């Protein structure tokens, strides 16, 4: 009986790290979700697969400071730094939410050197909204 060939693990031989760096992404989509408490920046390719992401919380801000414009600027810079190294030149920006970090994140994206082809506000707006609660009887 022949001995089975030992399978080497994918994680041990470093193939995953190599695969990440070989992808060249010329165009992508940057999603900015700015709430009052936090700002989340996600960078995807055109098909919607996540390449990089960051938030004010992961950048080290805690509590109410996560909702500040400076925290949003730091989060956007962190998320974009990795994709610029992978060769992204052009991007579309989708901004969602009413938070303070909207403009600061957009300013940080503009400064990064990526050409912005499209900026869109995708904040969900209710057309008629939910049914209000019934009147209170005292």
Domains of the chain: 25-119 (3.30.420.80)
pLDDT in tens, 92-131: 999 999 999 999 999 999 999 999 999 999 999 989 999 9
For the record, the structure tokens of 52 come out as: 């990089």
Q: How far is CA 7 from CA 4, 16, 103, in A?
A: 9, 16, 50
Task: Kindly report the pTM of this predicted structure.
Answer: 0.77
pLDDT in tens, 39-48: 999 999 999 9
Q: Which residue, chain included where needed, has tokens 């008629």?
A: 128
What integer pLDDT is reported at residue 55 of this predicted model? 95
Q: How far is CA 19 from CA 10, 27, 29, in A?
A: 11, 18, 21
């Amino acid at each position: 009986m022949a001995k089975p060939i030992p399978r080497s693990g994918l994680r041990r031989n470093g193939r995953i790290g190599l695969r990440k760096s070989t992808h060249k992404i010329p165009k992508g989509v940057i999603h900015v979700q700015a709430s009052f408490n936090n700002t989340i920046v996600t960078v995807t390719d055109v098909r919607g697969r996540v390449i990089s992401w960051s938030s004010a919380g992961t950048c080290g801000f805690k509590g109410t400071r996560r909702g500040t414009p400076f925290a949003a600027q730091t989060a956007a810079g962190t998320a974009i730094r990795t994709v610029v190294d992978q060769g992204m030149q052009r991007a579309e920006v989708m901004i969602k939410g009413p938070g303070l970090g909207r403009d600061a994140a957009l300013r940080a994206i503009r400064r990064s050197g990526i050409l912005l082809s499209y900026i869109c506000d995708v904040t969900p707006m209710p057309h008629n909204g939910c049914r209000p609660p019934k009147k209170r009887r005292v």
